[in-house]
């Protein structure tokens, strides 16, 4: 209710924001149009001219013509990057973060259990929280959306895959050129002496016991190499992703609500440089108004159909 009130009040403010100029050369005239947004604390949401604020709208059925437009853009692009989020893995049994009552942040305070400050204060609380999630991730299998993107890369239509997920399902599906923006569970590091080691020997302790693994060198707490709240992204990864966005002809967003910065800003960065944008997601995103094509639906159903047509 609080979030709804914040969004509704922010909509009434009707702030008009325009894109910054002089950052990169803009090859598309429509990309320079002002963006009208509903803004609030931690929120970024586009204001649609045909929709009022505070109302619930039915998701329209996907127009078959939109599929054809998306396919045409994919075929024409010489350099396509794909950005994936938690929505890509929900069909593999991994919960997302915000969508419903079963999402991860609906049950706990993320800043208590999944922040670097919370980890340093009470690492046992982190491992109690991540125990069932880690078990689910390690036992998960790629779904048709993961397999479709791997096939898209093999066909030569995907040049870089940028993912916000830590589940490594893209690798298991066969994708090769990947940037894992929020880290992974393959390695584990000491928060005191920075000792790093493969995480697999610690999997039984994490998934079965839920206890804190200790550094063999100094006895400090070992933390999986995932990015927690309060931790910076790896600089080389974010710079590589931003450079790829600037050089792309097309960016395809799949299964991401595009709410977490700085990764969520990659589509806007690409559009400002002249790229086309396709968004495939179950719900609306703050960047739908910038997209050439929006396909609101299940990525597990849509992505295989798109890739099969290439």
Helices 64-76 + 299-308 axis angle, to 10: 60
- Catalytic position from the list 182, 184, 276, 296: 182
182 is catalytic: yes
Distance CA 97, CA 94 (A): 10
| Residue 236: how many other CB atoms lie within 10 Å | 9
Distance CA 269, CA 20 (A): 11
Distance CA 48, CA 45 (A): 9
3-state secondary structure of 19: coil
Q: How far is CA 300 from CA 143, 280, 281, in A?
A: 7, 10, 10
Distance CA 197, CA 283 (A): 39
Distance CA 280, CA 71 (A): 13
**Total count of residues recorded for the chain:** 310
Distance CA 36, CA 51 (A): 13
Secondary element (H or E) of residue 278: strand 276-281
Question: By C-alpha distance, which of 181, 164, 178 is closest to 258?
Answer: 164
The catalytic residue positions are 182
């Amino acid at each position: 209710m609080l979030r709804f009130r914040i969004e509704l009040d922010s909509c009434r403010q009707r702030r008009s924001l325009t894109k910054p100029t002089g950052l990169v050369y803009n090859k598309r005239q429509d990309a320079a149009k002002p963006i009208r947004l509903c803004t609030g604390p931690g929120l970024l949401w586009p204001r649609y001219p045909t929709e009022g604020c505070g109302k619930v709208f039915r998701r329209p059925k996907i127009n078959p013509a939109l599929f054809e437009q998306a396919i045409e853009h994919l075929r024409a692009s010489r350099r396509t990057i794909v950005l994936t989020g938690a929505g890509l893995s929900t069909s593999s049994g991994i919960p997302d973060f915000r969508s419903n009552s079963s999402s991860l942040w609906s049950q706990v305070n993320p800043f208590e259990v999944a922040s670097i400050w919370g980890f340093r204060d009470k690492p046992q609380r982190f491992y109690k929280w991540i125990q069932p999630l880690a078990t689910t991730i390690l036992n998960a299998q790629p779904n048709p959306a993961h397999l479709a993107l791997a096939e898209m890369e093999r066909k030569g239509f995907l040049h870089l895959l940028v993912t916000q997920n830590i589940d490594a399902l893209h690798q298991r599906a066969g994708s090769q050129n990947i940037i894992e923006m929020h880290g992974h569970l393959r390695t584990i590091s000491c928060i005191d002496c920075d000792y790093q080691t493969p995480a697999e020997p610690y999997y039984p302790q994490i998934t079965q016991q839920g206890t804190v693994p200790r550094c063999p060198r100094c006895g400090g707490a070992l933390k999986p190499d995932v990015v927690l709240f309060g931790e910076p992204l790896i600089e080389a990864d974010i710079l590589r992703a931003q450079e790829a966005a600037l050089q792309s002809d097309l960016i395809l967003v799949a299964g991401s609500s595009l709410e977490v910065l700085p990764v969520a800003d990659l589509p806007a960065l690409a559009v400002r440089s002249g790229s086309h944008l396709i968004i495939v997601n179950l719900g609306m995103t703050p960047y739908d108004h910038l997209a050439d094509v929006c396909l609101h639906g299940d990525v597990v159903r849509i992505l295989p159909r798109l890739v099969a047509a290439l």
